[in-house]
Amino acid sequence: MKMKGKHILVCGAGGFIGGHLVRRLLELGAATVRAVDSKPISEWFQVSNHADNVVLDLSSRANCASSVKGTSIVFQLAADMGGMGFIENNRALCMLNVLINTHMLLAARDHSVERFFFSSSACVYNLARQSSPLVVPLREEDAYPAMPEDGYGWEKLFTERMCRHFEEDFGLPCRVARFHNVYGPMGTWQGGREKAPAAICRKVLEAKLSGIPEIEVWGDGSQTRSFLYIDDCIQGTIAIAESGVSEPLNLGSSELVTIDQLVSIVENIAGVRLNRRFNPHAPIGVNGRNSDNTRISRLLHWEPSISLVEGLKSTYRWIERDMLQGSTVQTPITLREHYASEWRG
């Protein structure tokens, strides 16, 4: 199954990943792309003028039904979420995403869509397997026995099971990707919902511009993570959606770094050296998390190709321009298009 000529719905299209996905689907020749988000369009991260851009609250079953009507492929990315600072302090809001997921699955079933894609998360993985920075890369089967991240992780794991049973019981073809720390240009870099790469880029820039050579690092810096660049995320998302693989697949980089190393990479990009002030009381999540890409490589013959250094250079340059221009977190597509040749490489 290919995206060309299809009528596609992207839920959460006003978000970071959703905005990039809408643009790419249009480039691939989708017949129509309906882009839906609950935020006012003026607050969307990207607005593709050739999409059918709609503002709707998808926690409502009626709104989900009207969104799906006339489409054949659904990408369900809509969620109230953010980085670790948001997830650890808003567990109830994260759990309420189940309303969106449930109503979208019902609408997709009722309208007999060809394919339903759900964006899950590495937060579904058993916490006991992530207690050490020297983490063994997480395989898909390591989500069980279930002990995911409280709130957000439970919501994602529960919806994965719903997708499985909707396919088994109702014949709704579902595809599930477990996103691992997606970052890149056109993402949130301030305001409390940003993730580690963007937050560190912002902090390094603030230190450089202020002349105060200090940066706060959450935790002790030894936590380990892998980070997936947005272009790889979009390519992998579409590959999984088009595939015949109904089981969840990791969508992440296997390039593991400590948070301390992440800071050093951004320092090198910025050409500065900063004193590090570690904050052991800040939200840090698990001590170690990495993606095992054996299954996606074997089944789809695909793996991410953009290195962390390459991706961070593009991300840092974009945040620097955005910060110097005094823009808000949300940036119009015109700015993105202006710098597209630089940050896409």
Q: Active-site residues: which are they?
A: 152
Q: 């809001």: which residue's tokens?
A: 93
DSSP SS3 for 133: coil
CA 209/CA 50 separation, integer angstroms? 38
Q: And the tokens for 238?
A: 């579409």
How many Cα neighbours within 13 Å face the side chain of 233?
25
| Interatomic CA distance for residues 230 and 187, integer angstroms | 9
- A 10 A CB-CB count for 301 gives 8
* CB-based contact 106:261 (threshold 8 Å): no
Of the CA atoms within 13 Å of residue 140, those in its CB half-sphere come to 18
> What is the C-alpha separation between 244 and 135, in angstroms, rounded?
30
CA angle 82, 163, 36 (to 5 degrees): 50
Alpha helices per DSSP H over 28-185: 61-68, 84-87, 91-95, 97-110, 152-170
Structure tokens at 116: 């339903």
Label residue 39 exposed, middle or buried (CB < 10 Å: 0-12, 13-18, 19+).
middle
First to last CA, the chain: 28
For residue 39 the two structure tokens come to 């935020």
Look up residue 244 and give its two tokens. Answer: 């015949």
